[in-house]
Chain A
Amino acid sequence: MPRQRTARLPVLDASLRRPDGLSPRTSRALRARLVALTLVLISLALITVYFRESDDGTLHSAQRIGLSVAMPFEVAGERIARPFRDAWGWVADLVGAKQENKKLRKELQDLRSRAVQEQTALSDNEQLRRDLQFRDGPRFPQGFNGVATRVVGRPPSAYNQEVLIAAGTSAGVRRNDPVVTPDGLVGLVTEVTSNGAQVTLLTDQQSAVSATVLESGAAGIVRHGSSDSSALILDRVGKDAFVETGDLVITAGWRTGKLESLYPRGIPIGTVKSVGQQDVDLYKRIQVTPLVNFDSLSDVIVLVSKNR
């Protein structure tokens, strides 16, 4: 036997429908729309007036008053919430810390490399300025042009005191050209190619420079000392010559007929470190501290004769 079904007729709002007008539901919906529309229009009016009026206008003033009333509550709320906010911030920071850390590490690496580059550029700049001042200054030897260049290499051998520079014949550099820095004499060009040259330093065992003591005029030869690689001695200075510690030793720059020294006169070499003599010796024993730091040479100037 088929189950008896209950037929329910949808009579929604049947009891509320009025034949002569709108049902309460429709009326309520219309009222809601009307109110919403009114409020939207009020909002638009507020926005318009707020934008058009000056900062001293009515709405701005009202807003400021409202804010001053609300501010104590906001402050209180902020104080109450501070511990929770801090806790939230701590958790959020923890979550973001790993990513932040990675990002910061990368930034740090970039900044380090930039700092190194900038430091190098600054150092180069200072060095070049000094070179420029020296080349344009009164201490620069007469009759020479300066070819500023960089030290690009050092031979790995500990036996030869030499450096490679980035200027060669194309820049006018020739063999036996003296090499200086603003501090003093460096050495001599001993090999040259089109775009590079080898400079034998003053501290090499093969180097020797005729020199004089500026203060007394005592003459001698500066050459490699026996104690360590950077030590120099002023040899061939007679016992009767007057030399004191601290005296400045410069190149002698002699000239005899057509022969002349490879080094122009007046280039500083070093200062007298100690003076000694023994009865059995023919000459004084004078140790000289070079003015140039041969261990940290980076920029040098090759003196190229103008008369060449």
Chain B
Amino acid sequence: MTADVLKAGALLLVAALVQVSIASTIEVAEGHPDVVLVLVIAIALLRGPLFGAVAGFWAGLVLDVSSLETLGLTSLLLTLAGYFAGRFGDVTTKSSAHPSLVAVGLGTIGFGIGSALVHFMLGSTLSPTEFFVGVLLPSLALNLLIAYPLYGGCRRLFQPEPRERREVSPVV
């Protein structure tokens, strides 16, 4: 467990720096690939909601610090993304060999809408067309594109937990 925490902490720290210095410069329309979000979702899928929420919080904190954004804003969104991705993983893809594109897709949409909502509350808005066509759709496409390799990497780092043993009734 401690090894997982260290690995996740280091991985998300590096990912946040990569996100700020590299991934943010890759732009399709107004959208960027969100490496950190996809990694948080991948980790949460493999390690559950508790781990996902903590990983999301940490990653958001690092992102907010390294990009001088409002402290706590990305943490809030990534915490929720990690938690719900973990819950999703609990019932679906926890031990799957394939990344859950559905989880990344839903996570991206949820994160995007949440981010728009929070920014709207803080006074900065985009037009709906600009948001959906310019930001959300390109980000969704890019995140789905990087979901496979990032989930594969995470699967190597965080081996799936062994399945719980289930008792089966004897053959009748």
Q: Which of A32, A74, A81, A89 contacts B53 (CB 8 A)?
A: A32
The answer on a CB contact under 8 Å between B76 and A43 is: yes
Q: Are B169 and A85 in contact (CB under 8 A)?
A: no
Which of B18, B48, B62 has a CB less than 8 Å from the CB of A77? B18
In the complex, the answer to whether A74 meets B168 with C-beta atoms within 8 Å is no
- B71 pairs with A50, CB closer than 8 A: yes
Residues of chain B from 42 to 68 with CB closer than 8 A to chain A in the complex: 48-50, 53-54, 56-57, 60, 62, 64-66, 68
- CB <8 Å contact, A42 and B167: no
Residues of B close to A45: CB separation below 8 A: 72
Question: In the complex, A140→B25 CA distance in Å?
Answer: 68
Give the size of the chain B interface in residues (CB under 8 angstroms). Answer: 42
Residue A29 lies at the interface, judged by CB distance under 8 Å to chain B: yes
**Of residues 11 to 49 in A, which have CB atoms within 8 Å of B's CB atoms?**
11-12, 14-16, 28-29, 31-33, 35-36, 39-40, 42-48
A51 to B69, CA, bound (A): 11
Q: Which of B11-26 contact A (CB under 8 A)?
A: 17-18, 20-22, 25-26
Q: Known interface pairs A9-B169, A32-B53, A35-B50. Does A70 touch B66 (Cβ–Cβ under 8 Å)?
A: yes
Q: Are B167 and A39 in contact (CB under 8 A)?
A: no
- Of A59-67, A168-176, A267-275, A277-285, the segment with at least 4 beta carbons within 8 Å of chain B is A59-67
Whether B168 and A67, one on each chain, are in contact in the complex, defined by CB atoms closer than 8 angstroms, is no
In the complex, which of the residues B54, B66, B165 contacts A67, with contact meaning CB atoms closer than 8 Å?
Answer: B66
Evaluate contact between A46 and B50: CB separation under 8 angstroms. Answer: no
Count contacts on A: residues with CB < 8 A to the other chain: 45
Q: Is B31 positioned at the interface, with any CB of A under 8 Å from its CB?
A: no
B172 within 8 A of A: yes
State the Cβ distance, B44 to closest chain A Cβ, in Å: 10
Contact of B57 with A63 in the complex, beta carbons under 8 Å: no
Give the shortest distance, in Å, between A127 (CB) and chain B (any CB).
47
Binding site for B on A (CB under 8 A): 5-9, 11-12, 14-16, 28-29, 31-33, 35-36, 39-40, 42-48, 50-51, 59, 62-63, 66-67, 70, 73-75, 77-78, 81, 84-85, 88-89, 92
